[in-house]
Amino acid sequence: MKAFILDRYEKNARLRLGEMPEPELRDDDVLVQVHAAGVNALDSKIRDGEFKQLLHYRLPLVLGNDVAGVVLRVGAAVRRFQPGDEVFARPEATRIGTFAERIAISESALAHKPKRIDMEAAASLPLVALTAWQVLAERANLQPGQRVLIHAGAGGVGTVAIQLAKHLGAFVATTTSAANAPLVTGLGADVVIDYRTQPFERELRDYDVVLSSLDADVLEKSLRVLKPGGMLISISGPPDPAFAKEIGAPWWMGLVMRGLSHRIRKQARRLGIHYSFLFMRASGDQLEQIAALVDAGAIRPVIDRTFPFAATNDALAYVDTGRAKGKVVIRMD
């Protein structure tokens, strides 16, 4: 099958279009014909080698962490899917590879595609929607009336997180550029902070939750926004000891993560705030709930650009600019 392949870790490396073996189907696997694939900053980070100590992939590697498509075959133990079903997923972190014609995905990571959107829109959702869900609904247990700050509201995670937070009944503030203010307001943001002209840490007070996808400077400033007992949840790091335990990392990696997050954890502790790092995990069950919200009109995908499969490297390069509003998607020819 045709696929875009990473031969070696290298910053801004171009993927090679080539042939890869057909995916092997385990008893609990579903073979999916890829119709569209979402492109994420995570793909660039894996390509650049930023996760090679954490995610031990065997090279050559097919990149891609989002997919929508049609079931071709199912393993002997699969019960929820059958050939012809339209599905979407974020494959398990150890089994990525959606920049290809076909992919085998564990049944537990797969969900039925929302009915009211097309394949490209569905492919834009899994990674970012699961991230928003696991931060806001699961870890923060966001409640009606609580106040949440979502950084980078016009980005892939931000556009979904704003809508999910509003669905959960929260008051939502977000940071973005002035040009993107109409977009995030249309998604439900109550307060929009222009990060270029308004220091958010001076404008906002007494928030319950902050979702941060930005750098260490923004992370530390976010502490000033939270009330005692609030939660600062980062999806960009630094990873903390709890995350090392969650993934069963070796002891030495736990020590590394403890050191990397020491400063922000100490600052948070002094203010009575809980800091944690979240690396999204695959979940078909959660995607089924997200699909229901999409079909009910509570969440709508936001797509910046769609590229043909042959232009996968161009799609990655566009994501690398950091200017995409919502998601970038690859469509199969």
Domain of 54: which CATH number? 3.90.180.10
State residue 248 phi and psi, 5-degree precision: 65, 35
Task: Please check whether residue 255 lies inside any domain of the structure.
Answer: yes
Q: Are residues 69 and 134 located together in one domain of the fold?
A: no
**267 is written with which tokens?**
């600052």
- Do 104 and 203 reside in the same domain of the chain? no
One domain for residues 252 and 319 = no
Separation CA 30–CA 37 (nearest Å): 17
Domain match, 173 and 272 both: yes
Instruction: Tell me: do 121 and 13 sit in the same domain.
Output: yes
- SS3 label, residue 296: coil
Domain count across the chain: 2
* Residue 159 lies in domain: 127-277
State whether residue 76 is helix, strand or coil.
Answer: coil
User: What is residue 267's predicted lDDT score, i.e. its pLDDT?
Assistant: 95
pLDDT of amino acid 245: 83
The per-residue DSSP string of 193-259 comes to EETTTS-HHHH--SEEEEEE-S-HHHHHHHGGGEEEEEEEEESSS---HHHHHHTT--HHHHHHHHH
pLDDT in tens, the chain (333 residues): 999 999 999 999 999 999 999 999 999 999 999 999 999 999 999 999 988 877 889 999 999 999 999 999 999 999 999 999 999 999 999 999 999 999 999 999 999 999 999 999 999 999 999 999 999 999 999 999 999 999 999 999 999 999 999 999 999 999 999 999 999 999 999 999 999 999 999 999 999 999 999 989 999 999 999 999 999 999 998 888 888 888 787 888 888 888 988 999 999 999 999 999 999 999 999 999 999 999 999 999 999 999 999 999 999 999 999 999 999 999 998
Report the pLDDT value the prediction gives residue 94, as an integer from 0 to 100. 93
Does residue 292 sit within a domain?
A: no
Sign of the CA dihedral running 247, 91, 53, 234: negative
Q: Let me know whether 140 and 251 are in one domain.
A: yes
Whether 193 and 237 map to the same domain: the answer is yes
pLDDT score at 155 = 96
> Is residue 268 domain-resident?
yes
pLDDT at position 225 is: 98
Question: Among the residues of the chain, which ranges form H helices?
Answer: 41-48, 119-123, 126-132, 156-167, 181-187, 200-203, 216-222, 241-246, 251-260, 262-270, 284-295, 312-320
Query: What does the pLDDT read at residue 252?
Result: 85
How far lies 9's CA from each of 59, 100, 105, in Å?
9, 19, 24
Residues 135 and 255 grouped into a single domain: yes
Same domain, 175 and 117: no
